[in-house]
Copies of this chain bind each other. A is one copy, B any other.
Amino acid sequence: MAREHEKALIVLSGGQDSTTCLYWAIDRFGKDSVSTLTFDYGQRHRVELECAARVAELAGVGNVCLPINTFEALGGDALTDGNIEVKDEVAENGLPNTFVPGRNLIFLTFAAAFAYRHGIDNLVTGVAQTDYSGYPDCREETITALQQALRVGMESRIVLHAPLMHLSKKETVELARDLGGLAAMAYTHTCYNGERPPCRHCPACRLRATGFEEAGIEDPLLSL
């Protein structure tokens, strides 16, 4: 049910999940009330930033890109350090070596600060715990705790929405289709190896492919 006069900010990575969230937010809040925020945090695949901008443009909403140079300084993560190879295996601590501790906490806190400045009360994130791949900052418990910290820490009424939290990849694909967001999938980026067209064999490509296959839908990205 659409709520009038409420604005929403979507943390848009340029990937499949956050793009689906963008269409979810447009459906719920109306296109004129929706804007997107992307973080340039030193990700090894710069194409993600371009994808985010193109998805927002296709959807007809604004996109602001904020820099974060701190993760690179923290160092040692496969997603931000070009010298570290992405591995399928998990590290000793049980987390994939693409894990940046607290990355989503940082993204959502900066997004909440941006939202605060712009009078936006709704923050939408594409995190999901169904396909939870070892990232504790993607779980519902984390989102709930962070929302509380943001509310008291900023004296705000911010509401964190994670509409994909309990959806499988198949259901996320179906949701994107139902909301008219399928065409935008051609502009999203998923491949951990940064390839366009995607490599189709990295864990991220395989997970994406499984979702489309199970939904019986052809991935627009693969027919580019």
Q: Is B136 touching A145 in the complex (CB atoms < 8 A)?
A: no
Complex Cα gap A145–B112 (Å)? 15
Tell me the residues in window 132-154 of chain A with beta carbons closer than 8 Å to chain B beta carbons: 136-137, 139, 141-142, 145-146, 148-150, 152-154
Is A223's CB within 8 Å of the partner chain B?
A: no
Q: How many copies does the complex hold?
A: 2
Is A43's CB within 8 Å of the partner chain B?
A: no
- A interface SS class: helix
Instruction: Please give, as numbers and ranges, the residues of chain B lying within 8 Å of A142 by CB-CB distance.
Output: 149, 152-153
Q: Is B102 touching A112 in the complex (CB atoms < 8 A)?
A: yes
Tell me the residues in window 43-82 of chain A with beta carbons closer than 8 Å to chain B beta carbons: 66-70, 73-74, 76
What are some 19 contacts across the A-B interface (CB < 8 A)?
Answer: A66-B73, A67-B69, A67-B73, A68-B68, A69-B69, A69-B70, A76-B117, A95-B155, A101-B116, A101-B156, A102-B110, A105-B109, A136-B155, A137-B154, A142-B152, A142-B153, A145-B145, A145-B149, A145-B152
